[in-house]
Amino acid sequence: MITVQRCQDCGRRYFPGRLLCAACDGANFTVAEVAKARIETSTLVHDAAATRLVTLVDGDLVLVGALHGRAERGDLVPLHPRAIDGPGPVAVVPGTESDETAPPSRHLQEETSR
Ligand SMILES: [Zn+2]
């Protein structure tokens, strides 16, 4: 399970997060959880470790992740923000912990309060 940014006005999801929605120009975002996504492309990065870089699609959302374990193009795989133990398959998408994908306004407030 990963978290991504979700526009409160039109529902479109983004990762990485944005300040304005590309679909409706809305600036109100919340977070949404995504459990699985389908592998659209798969590229072998390092033969010895059999690590694959994959693009993943879940509706309007497109992500890039590292595939651990065996899965093929078209497979639905679980998503995780960090590498996990076990055979997989799991697609790791760094930066998608719940505290990392909070709406940008909160980040801006944290920045200015320092
Ligand atoms: Zn929107």
Task: Give the tens place of pLDDT for each residue, 27-70.
Answer: 999 999 999 999 999 998 876 666 789 999 999 999 999 998 88
**Counts of helices then strands in the chain (DSSP H, E):** 1, 8
Residue where the block lists tokens 């940008």? 104
Please check the confidence at residue 108 and state whether its pLDDT lies above 60: no
For ion ligand 1, residues whose CB falls within 5 Å = 7, 9-10, 12, 21, 23-24, 26
Give the C-alpha distances (Å, rounded to integers) separating 89 from 51, 57, 79, 83: 11, 16, 9, 11
Q: How far away, in angstroms, is 21 Cα from ligand 1 center?
A: 5
Q: How far away, in angstroms, is 6 Cα from ligand 1 center?
A: 8
Q: How far away, in angstroms, is 10 Cα from ligand 1 center?
A: 4
Pairing of strands 90-92, 76-80: parallel
Q: pLDDT tier at 106 (50, 70, 90 boundaries)? A: low
| pLDDT score recorded for residue 49 | 62
Q: Residue ranges of the alpha helices (H) in the chain?
A: 104-112
**How far is it between the farthest Cα atoms of the chain?**
47
